[in-house]
Structure 1
Amino acid sequence: MTPPAQLPDLTPFIEAGRRDLAALVALESVSAQGRMLPETADAVTVLLEGEGFTVRRFPGQVAPVLLAEAGEGPATLLIYNHYDVQPETPADLWNTPPFVLTERDGRLYGRGASDDKGELVSRLAAVRALRAAHGGHLPLKIKWLIEGEEEVGSPSLAGFVEAHAAELKADGCWWEFGSVSEEGRPLVSLGLKGIVCLELRCAVSDSDLHSSLGAVIDNPLYRLSRAIASLRDDSGRVSIPGFYDAVRAPSAADLRALDSLPDARSPLQQSYGVRGFLGNADAREVNRRSNFEPALNVNGVHGGYGDAGSKTVLPASGFAKIDIRLVPDQDPAEIVRLLRAHLDAQGLSDIEVNELESHEHAARSDVAHPFVQAALAAARESYGAEPIIHPSAGGSGPMHPFVQHLGVACVAIGIGNVGGRVHAPNENIRVEDFARGVRFGAVFMEALSRRALGEKEPGREALG
């Protein structure tokens, strides 16, 4: 058995990573607006090639897709990240410029500091440290897939993964995000929910009308309100017939992980000022719904007059945007069909249902998978604490193609935090979490480099 290499002092690698992060944050790679995407792909390519990766670039519908490869060894690790970010708006709510990495009170602020440039750079810093420990050699094969379309639904990714499945074959995939609890325990996610984004539209005339005509002409905002109110009950349970028919029940291992999760309510209340939870859900129910239940959300309702004072108008039209978070094995297309049938049955056939962006299926990996167990063991070693295991994150992402086309387990472990304000003004990471993320990456990849997954190492717990 090859003994583990002694990792070097990580300080210079962490400092170099922070400089790289500042340079990437300065690139305004907002995919929703098509800003600086080729330039950011160029910058990421330069960073990877500087560490010995061979980088190939492929066109995407919105932004270039990068596929990089380096190293040799008994295990192959696939890493997935993205270089695009959310819009910075509303810019006036930022305390410091959104595209300038700024340190304040032990945190680094900037758009992409966490999602996902910070994650990408922390992993690259870990690669540098591992290479240094092995005399410039990378002792495992790393395949790195980095896209620039994640924040707009990854429209190119599923087809790319399917087309390049042979090239992407690996023992497991280290997913693009993760976080650390306030007390320093790594939060590990083994799945992601799917998502359907829709727009409901209603029109009653070609132009706005005098509100006196409300006695004889229906109001589009009223009809939209009826439609929205029909979609779920007061506890949040979706009212669309057939909506839950395909929901995969959690496994026994999933439920054991659920029972070990801490109470998520207080951090949400402290960080976001949340005033309550649907149905007065207790701690276990909040975690159960977050991990295993689909959800329907109204993102916004628009129409009519909303400025100061009164305007007695009957709006010509209005629209509402919704998203539906899905779990395995719900099919997005079937969910749209069920929604349409439900509205028709409610006498709301005049409500248009328009599909937005790319839909995503849900995915979930088995906690007992050897790759998952290897990641958890590395997390225990590098953080000195028991990981908090979420069978599924509450959010969505393009994990399903990796599970479906590659057959790999996916593990999300990263450098975020509950107060990181991802997608919001003042996005941030804690300086300490960035450093610990670099250490975890080096420990994890070093462990993978020592043997094939599942092989027992004398004196240590088997990875399987």
Structure 2
Amino acid sequence: MDTFYAHIEANRERYLDELYALLRQPSIAAQGVGIEETARLVADRLERLGAEVKLLQVPGGAPVVFGSIGRGPRTLLIYDHYDVQPPEPLDQWHSPPFEPTIRMGEEAGTPLLYARGVADNKGNTMLRIQAVESWLATQGELPIRINFMIEGEEEIGSAHLEEFCRQHADLLRADGCLWETGGVNALEQPTIMCGAKGICYVELVARGAAYDLHSANATVVPNPAWRLTWALATLKGPDERVLIPGFYDRVRPPDEADMRALASIPDDDEALLADYGIPQFLGGVRGVERHRAHLFNPTCTICGLVSGYTGQGSKTVLPSEARAKVDFRLVPDQDPFEIARLLREHLDAQGFSDIEIVQFSQEHPARAPSDSAVVRAMSQAIRETYGQEPVIYPTMAGTGPMYPVCQQFGTPVTSGAGTGYQGSLVHAPNENIRLDDYWRAMRCMGAFIKAFA
């Protein structure tokens, strides 16, 4: 693999230029900005690689870029996405979010690359494509078939991907899938994750008068901000338990194998507490109990609240509308559509039938075995590249369309060959990667191809 590594080194400048071009193109799924243009950029890059490329689309959905290259007894599906989170709040960025900028990190000599989407998920997307180019240039033909599936709605819950997977099931069948994520944990240990939580994302809307009124009218006119606040207070108690009847009925507790996996995860409590700037975790959990809560407990989270006047200074107003965005992270065997129904029934029973529920995304949770061939191959690649054993997590706390892409077809999943680290600031202003991680992940991708063949 020495020639493979040398090719990466010789092409660093060009590879970075390609990444910069992708990062400069906004692709904000939530706002419908730049999606078609970014899909074309990704498709063009795969075509230059020599892949057979298709731009596929279901009605109303963003283009899915599907590229196939190589031959061999095994097929690897690579799932990534080209859409990104909205960059707001813009005033908290130290450089423009869509202008890639390198600054030195706190660690001496550590260059960081800042841009929206560089960590989630354009960096991983590009480095995996570039790794295949370096393989072809130095190792010859690929020993496996690689199918890239790169979508444009992941950040809004992959709203049309389930239908896409139904229509194109023949393209998705594989011996293993490399998921979008990869990197190191808070202790700088490389990680592998073998599952994902589901999600039910909604917006709750309370309405009052036909327009904003002078707040003196609060004596006789209902305030939707209070109405929404009272409704939200019925969803979850101070003990962090969700109060919706039936919410926990389908929760599958971790089994003995899961608990053994949790016990093998190193204790990074202090590193995380220091990074988050908080004195303790909810309920004071630590160690294995924190990992269990984090990976196997469902959640109910208020993601955003807006009503009335929130600008500088004061304005005495009685708002006409109040909105709250709420997500429920789900674990096996919860059903997002059932959770939406239970939420409606709960609000009605509590006297809040007037509150509208706007549904945004629903995704099922997914799990995959931690001893599959694709996980073993990534473990071997990590040992070769990072010089240490990976930490294998039975699932991740985040969400992705792993159920329709992989679980329904019985495809085992691994993460890895990615740039993630504790300071990536994914979904936040000043999202970044460490450039050293970019090149190391690319080398890991080459070792993974060799190990999975």
CA distance in 2, matches of 1:118, 1:34: 21
State which drifts further: 306-315 or 196-205.
306-315
Which residue matches 1:344?
348
AA aligned opposite 2:93 = W
DSSP 3-state at the match of 1:98: coil
Structure whose residues are more often helix by fraction: 2
CA distance in 2, matches of 1:19, 1:307: 40
1:109-120 equivalent positions in 2, closer than 5 A: 109-120=114-125
| 1:185 aligned to which of 161, 184, 189 | 189
Q: Is 1:12 equivalent to 2:10 in the alignment? A: yes
Give the gaps of 5 or more residues in structure 1. 450-464
1:57-456 equivalent positions in 2, closer than 5 A: 57-60=55-58, 61-105=60-104, 106-135=111-140, 137-181=141-185, 183-209=187-213, 211=215, 213-308=217-312, 310-356=314-360, 358-413=361-416, 414-449=418-453
Indicate if the aligned counterparts of 2:77 and 2:148 stay in contact, CA closer than 8 A: yes
Indicate if the aligned counterparts of 2:365 and 2:399 stay in contact, CA closer than 8 A: yes
CA distance in 1, matches of 2:324, 2:125: 35
| Shift in CA distance, 191/402, structure 1 to aligned 2, threshold 3 Å | same
**TM-score, structure 1 normalization:** 0.89
What is the CA deviation profile of residues 254-278 of structure 1, one whole-angstrom value per residue up to 9, with x for unaligned ones?
Answer: 2112112233443443334345422
| 1:33 aligned to which of 28, 31, 34 | 31
Give the gaps of 5 or more residues in structure 2. 105-110
Indicate if the aligned counterparts of 2:29 and 2:83 stay in contact, CA closer than 8 A: yes
AA aligned opposite 2:9 = T
Q: CA deviation at 1:92?
A: 2.5
State which drifts further: 311-320 or 159-168.
311-320
State which drifts further: 409-418 or 436-445.
409-418
CA distance in 2, matches of 1:93, 1:210: 33
State which drifts further: 287-296 or 180-189.
180-189
Which residue matches 1:457?
none
Q: CA deviation at 1:116?
A: 1.0
CA distance in 2, matches of 1:425, 1:311: 29
AA aligned opposite 1:125 = Q
Which residue matches 1:49?
47
Q: Percent of aligned pairs with the same residue?
A: 45
What is the CA deviation profile of residues 183-202 of structure 1, one whole-angstrom value per residue up to 9, with x for unaligned ones?
Answer: 54212211111111112222
What is the CA deviation profile of residues 281-321 of structure 1, one whole-angstrom value per residue up to 9, with x for unaligned ones?
Answer: 22322211211111000112222343455555443332221
| Shift in CA distance, 125/278, structure 1 to aligned 2, threshold 3 Å | same
CA distance in 2, matches of 1:310, 1:156: 43
What count of residue pairs does the alignment treat as equivalent? Answer: 444
State which drifts further: 72-81 or 53-62.
53-62
Which residue matches 1:21?
19
**TM-score, structure 2 normalization:** 0.91
CA distance in 1, matches of 2:79, 2:396: 16
Indicate if the aligned counterparts of 1:234 and 1:278 stay in contact, CA closer than 8 A: no
Indicate if the aligned counterparts of 1:172 and 1:410 stay in contact, CA closer than 8 A: yes
DSSP 3-state at the match of 2:300: strand
CA distance in 2, matches of 1:113, 1:316: 39
CA distance in 2, matches of 1:46, 1:220: 49
| Shift in CA distance, 342/182, structure 1 to aligned 2, threshold 3 Å | closer
